[in-house]
Amino acid sequence: MSSSPPSLYEWAGGERAFRTLFTRFYERVAEDPLLAPVFAGMDPRHAEHVAAFVGEVMGGPAHYSTEHGGHAAMLRKHLDRMLDQPKRKRWIALLLDCADDVGLPDDPEFRSAFVSYLEWGSRLAVINSQPGVDVTLDAPMPAWGWGEVKGPYTP
């Protein structure tokens, strides 16, 4: 009898791991000359909200969906923000540095899935942040797993 593999959320260390990661990340964002202006004036609980969102995407509890409006709410937060590739690339690089700093698992399987979501999500954020873009706000919450994607745009 084989048991199912843990979710990416469980493998990473659950809620505590994602809160620690995003707390560290947004502390570093505040000091980053490229990213600090993007997040200036953010809600003091921003790191907690993003941790809940990414945690849910990685197979954790649906706290972001039930308490903050799900994927549509996250999409709305990016509207008209005018994000670009240099900011996107810096966001990912800094987040991965922080993942190393806080001890998120560094095995290739986990990191491959984690980076896959970061690439997909950050590219979607750039697209949806441009003026006049037609955003699909009724898309379901993405769901990432071990080498599989169950996202809003999966056929």
Mean pLDDT within 8-13: 98
Q: Can you give the residue ranges of every domain in the chain?
A: 8-128
The confidence band for 155, taking pLDDT boundaries of 50, 70 and 90, is: very low
Please give the Cα distance from 62 to 95 (Å, whole number): 22
Which tens digits make up the pLDDT trace of 28-66? 999 999 999 999 988 889 999 999 999 999 999 999 999
Please give the Cα distance from 144 to 155 (Å, whole number): 15
Question: Does pLDDT of 119 surpass 70?
Answer: yes
Q: What is the pTM of this model?
A: 0.90
Write the class of the CATH domain 8-128.
Answer: mainly alpha
